[in-house]
Amino acid sequence: MSRFLIGVCTADHQCEAYDASCEDVRDQWERDQRLTPRGRATDFWTRYPEDVALARDLGCSAFRFSVSWARVEPAPGEFSRAVLDHYRALVEAIVDAGMEPVLTLCHYTWPLHLADRGGLLAADFPDAFARYTTEVVRALGDRVRWWITFNEPNQLVYGYLKPWWTGEYRMPPGLDPRAGSREQMEAVVALMRALFVANARGRQAIKAALPDAIVTTNPFMLGLPAWLQRVLDWRATRLRSEGAWTAAGRIAARRPGRILGQVDLVAAALSATAGRGTAVDFSRPYHVAGLRLLVPADAAIGGPADTAGAVVAVVRGSTAAGAGGRLVPGAALLLVDGYAAMLAALDGGAAAAALVDDAIGQGLADRAGGRYRLVGDRLRDERYVVATATGNRALMQVVDDVIAGRPSAEVAEDHGLRRVERRGRLVVGVGADLPEEWRGREEELAREVAGRVLGDPARVELRPLGTRDRLPAVRPWTRVFDPLLRWVDMLFCALNSNWWHLGIAGKLPEWLCPEEAVGQQDVVGMDYYWGISNLSLHKVEQLGAAAGGGFDRAPVWPAALRGLLGYLARAFPDQPIVVIENGCVERASGVSRAEYLRQHWRELQRARQAGVPVTGYLAWSITSNREWGLPFGPASDFGLYHVELDTDPALRRVPTEAVEVFRAMVREASDTTTA
């Protein structure tokens, strides 16, 4: 008998401070996409003793972390002894604290030198991963028993597949806009095989040196109704040819219909959000603004804390209108139609402050001759993008080339580009009420696109659009049917089957999961966060929002965890199961982090009482982390201990209310043994 494994997690890119000498693919992605960079993160590289001590004091029996491949192998075939010694010290600290180190080898990141060779699709990727694994095992293996090869391998496909209901790729490397549904799915299929093979090679390298090691992966699992999961898995197991797999996945990448909006493009200080991405496609970002407070020059307000009980104006249809309730929680929001009305509310005393993008707010303040000023820190970053109707790949490629300042690549015409050429002019929606200096910048961008498409920058028609009119202008009314199409495609895309576990169980064709990759796990690992029941199928939209980073709106369904544990027990009757990640942001769909943990722990215990061999549970995460380029705040903070990543130079670890709930879970687990 052995003790139940219970503990906490973190990951290298999300907690270790940025080091320019060993960038990983995520650092490059965040810079190119103008996402929030990790910066110092939690400074775990130097402060790991503090976080290990926090886990020890909670009573944890396990501490999961990941090794940075980019740090360990800064150049092909060159392994850093200093970095491996650092991770050795971390492992020793975990062991000395009485906990099992759970080591993840690849947590969503890889070195730039691998990316330059083709990344996870490089011909030598499986062998390169095995060599890297061998070096880590040689340095740390005598003190580490638990190994995870790839974190959530089934999510890595979204660096190669952009579902038509998302405005941009979710993660690196991201294909260029010219990649159609067939090219995307061909890359996905190649990736799936490469991951299966690399996992097998990595596990074999570990077991060769450490026969008693416990090796697994932790696929991300959605909580879907049991009947629907069975249908998806049944369908996946009957796709026997590569063409069938490609076709079954293409429904996610191929936009139904070819109907265009009133304008070809919108360039009007439009911020990229997951919600907007369900309606249109985005260019790469061309500017990063930030939401800040605009106040009369003589106002006493210095930041959000001073707006408690006050009225704050926001423009309808802006991201400020959607986020204001979270960013200035003590204020009452006043919705106004446009920036002129916003200033009138400030002048007339109807509002004490306005929440506005600083790029726009500064222009308004400058134009008003000092009557207004921006105050306080940025409350959230806003990535400005150009938008077009979904599916205009060639036109969007030209826009991306202009923004990147590179020569336009040769593109195959699509329906959007052909319409522009037939018309003889490019129609671009621009902001009707933006400050002139800001609007001029976007008009110049539009003219350069027209010059590249039509050979004459003057052949552009600029249509002023109000804030609320930007998306409707580029997205025609016929797209009212998109939510139904999205619901069907999201749920029945072949990639929403549990394809990783199906492959390990030997239920996929050998060309996709070779024989050497079958059975390559010692325990069954899984991650679970969100789900929908039979009675909440309408919340599939919230599942999509969660995939895009909208964790605070994610549907919470604790019973799905128990169902998934039973499902995995039937799929792998001879292996124990470990929940490698489970956790919540400060509040998701009205459920607090503390209550979320309490409810999911209850469901896990019910599964164990029913005979499901669950032998471990790890909570994500020990502290606040940099959540993959998202702006930091309550909607992206999974930490049991809160760290003010942007405003606290000391990066103090402050316990949340969930700490005591988790401590009680640990106490209960300490009385539990497993076979």
Which residue numbers are catalytic? Answer: 152
**73: nearest Cα among 105, 48, 100, 104:** 105
192 neighbors 119 (Cβ within 8 angstroms): no
Give the 3-state secondary structure of residue 461: strand
**Residue spans of alpha helices (H) in 107-180:** 112-116, 125-140
Contacts of 465 (CB under 8 A, 6+ apart): 263, 266, 268, 429, 430, 431, 432, 473
Instruction: For residues 548 and 483, give the distance between their C-alpha atoms in angstroms, rounded to a whole number.
Output: 16
**357: nearest Cα among 349, 368, 365, 369:** 365
Contacts of 103 (CB under 8 A, 6+ apart): 64, 65, 66, 67, 91, 136, 140, 144, 146, 147, 148
Contacts of 69 (CB under 8 A, 6+ apart): 24, 105, 106, 109, 110, 111, 114, 132
Query: How many residues make up the chain in this entry?
Result: 675
Instruction: For residues 9 and 177, give the distance between their C-alpha atoms in angstroms, rounded to a whole number.
Output: 35
Instruction: For residues 572 and 583, give the distance between their C-alpha atoms in angstroms, rounded to a whole number.
Output: 24
Angle at 532 between CA 527 and CA 537, to 5 degrees: 150
Structure tokens at 18: 């940025």
**390: nearest Cα among 484, 539, 283:** 283
Structure tokens at 2: 């052995």
Give the 3-state secondary structure of residue 388: strand
Give Cα separations from 416 to 262, 389, 426, 428 (angstroms). 12, 8, 10, 13
Residue with tokens 């500064």: 362
Angle at 122 between CA 117 and CA 124, to 5 degrees: 100
Instruction: For residues 104 and 115, give the distance between their C-alpha atoms in angstroms, rounded to a whole number.
Output: 19
